[in-house]
Each structure stands twice: as C-alpha cells, then as structure tokens.
Amino acid sequence: MRIIPAIDIINGKCVRLSKGDYSTQKIYNENPLEVAKMFEAHGVNFLHLVDLDGAKASHIVNHKVLESIASNTNLSIDFGGGLKSDDDLRIAFESGANQITGGSIAVKNPSTFKSWLKNYGADKIILGADANNEKVAVGGWLEESDEDLIPFIKNYVKEGISYVISTDISKDGMLQGPSFDLYKKILNEAPKIKLIASGGISCFEELPKLAAMGCEGTIIGKAIYEHKISMKQIENYIL
C-alpha cells in the first residue's frame, strides 16, 4: 500500500483543519517545500497536496507552491482543491502535478470532469469522493450534495475512473481512526477501483489493516504533524 503524506495549503503555509472547518486551521510550517523535502528524505515517493484557498475560491490559487515542490523534489504529486476549469487543470499539470483530484466538479459539472478523464486518462485523474453521512460533500466540504457516495463512485467506474480518494469528513483531522466500515463497503461495491483511504488515521497499526482490506494507498496528515506516527515508522513500512 502506498503511503501518501498530505500537505494542505492556506496562504502558502502548511496547515491542517479538523473536519474541513477552516476556522480550526493550525499552521504547522510556514514553508511547505521544507516539509516535502523532509518526507522525501524519509523515503516517501508520493505527496497529496491540497489547495485549500483554491477549494474556497473555486479556482487554482497555490500553484506556485506546487511548482516549488515539483521542481525541488522527485515526489509524485497529486494536487487538488478548486480545480474547476480546463485552465485550472492546465496550470496544475504545467506546475508539476502528476495527478489531479476532482471532487466538487465531478458532482457539479460532470461533463467537464468526464472530458478530463477522457483527454488525460485514468492514471492522471483521481475522483475525490469525500462524504458526510455517505453523502458527497463539495465546495471545500462546506456544503453537502444530494449524491449518495457509493452510487456516485460506481457511476464514475462506468466512465473509466480508476483512482478514488475517499475521506469521511467526520473523521478528518480528529485522530480517532479511519472509516474502516465505509472503505469495506466501497471495496465490496466497487472492487476494481484503486481506493485511497483518507481521514482519521491516528496510529501506525491502522496502516496494515487498511492494506489488508485492499486499499491501494492511504493519505496521512495530522497523525504525522502531531507525531502520532513517526517518520521512522513510515520509512520502515515503505522499505
């Protein structure tokens, strides 16, 4: 299973939120590149980079941070947050993203999202299926849609989606463990997807459990920043 540390960006700084609530932001580092280099130094190959300003503004904002990390590390970066137009997508890829994650757009403008999937391919486009009470959340998690999570994922499987990041928002940033039951349900219903678990990771022991369930990757944020999981543990797991 791939280990994918997360860097969330507000005003160019590395922050974390609790349950996606912008008022809970805590700054962990003023320099995201420094954090990315630290991950790389411990053998990490992947990075989940989220433009929280972009998610709120509905267009890409922190592409310079993406460009800085992409040009100064060898990390394979998936980038999300506010990607709403073909221009946003172009900027993200030109700035060094290896993959992009589309969440709100997949709900609100499916024709554009499907065109991205068709034009760039399933290896480049990740479906962001983030949910509250199994309803898909959009707009930087500030609003809930009427879409039920599992039918939403299955519909995009029919369209050729391969990678899916699913965050249970009630768990995110709470350090109380991930939604094992939700991921089990998703994998039972859509066994062919490459499911990336996200939200709630609280200790190292949860990682082998997610791997055994069939998750292709897991995103870890606050557990690293709050030293619940050490970089040494991650390094040993990767090796």
Q: What is the pLDDT of residue 142?
A: 55
Q: What is the pLDDT of residue 107?
A: 92
Which residue stretches of 121-203 are H helix? 149-158, 180-189
Q: Which of 51, 53, 130, 168 is catalytic?
A: 130
Q: What is the pLDDT of residue 144?
A: 67
Q: Can you read off the two tokens belonging to residue 142?
A: 């500030």
Side chain identity at residue 113, one-letter code: F
pLDDT average per 10 residues of sequence, the chain (239 residues): 97 90 92 98 98 93 98 98 96 98 93 97 96 78 77 97 92 84 96 95 96 97 95 95
Q: What is the pLDDT of residue 139?
A: 58
Rounded Cα distance between 70 and 49, Å, is 11
Domain range list for the chain: 2-238
Side chain identity at residue 77, one-letter code: I
Q: What is the pLDDT of residue 10?
A: 96
Side chain identity at residue 79, one-letter code: F
Active site residue 78: no
Rounded Cα distance between 209 and 158, Å, is 28
Q: Can you read off the two tokens belonging to residue 132?
A: 């509250």
Active site residue 8: yes
Q: What is the pLDDT of residue 133?
A: 83
- Give the strand pairing for 21-29 and 13-18: antiparallel
Which residue stretches of 162-230 are H helix? 180-189, 206-213, 222-225
**Homologous superfamily of the 2-238 domain (CATH):** Aldolase class I (3.20.20.70)
Residues pairing with 165 in the sheet: 128, 196
Q: Which of 8, 88, 168, 172 is catalytic?
A: 8
